[in-house]
Amino acid sequence: MTRPAAPGAHRSPCRRSAETGQVTLFIIGFCVVLLTALAGVAAASSVYLTRRALTSVADGAAVAAADAVRESDVLDGTVSGQRRLDSTAAGQAAAQAVALSGAGSSMTDFRWSGELAGNQREVLVTASATADIPLASSLFGRGVTVTVTARSTGRP
């Protein structure tokens, strides 16, 4: 003898639940959120690493340029706080430091400039490059431009 099925225990294959496909939508939504978060982390990391590399280049160039005090000031015995930088020597030293860093060949749209300030006792070096953002650069074509400035004074 067969027992009758309890009410609700057996569903007909023709009936579909109202929840059919909800798990699939949930998984797709979760994947979209996860991929967006990963893209954000990758973008922030790219900008951070570009900024760090630019800071290193600008600091190196500023320090190298700040070492180029005027020869006449050194020979005259000018007090160290009053020594002025030699603009030609400072420019050459900064250019050599930037060239040795290899930033021109390893960074996208790399540019730098330097100037003397503070009555020729201080060097300001500005460097900029484009941080390539994964996914966004391929979709939108450009990354984010990162600019840093380094300041250094001549050694006493």
pLDDT digits (tens, 9 = 90+) for 104-119: 888 989 999 988 887 7
pLDDT tens track for 83-101 = 677 788 888 889 999 999 9
Is 90 exceeded by the pLDDT of residue 54? Answer: yes
Instruction: Quote the pLDDT of residue 128.
Output: 95
Instruction: Quote the pLDDT of residue 13.
Output: 56
Is 90 exceeded by the pLDDT of residue 147? Answer: yes
pTM: 0.71
Q: Which two tokens stand for residue 127?
A: 């460097």
Averaged pLDDT score across all residues of the chain: 80
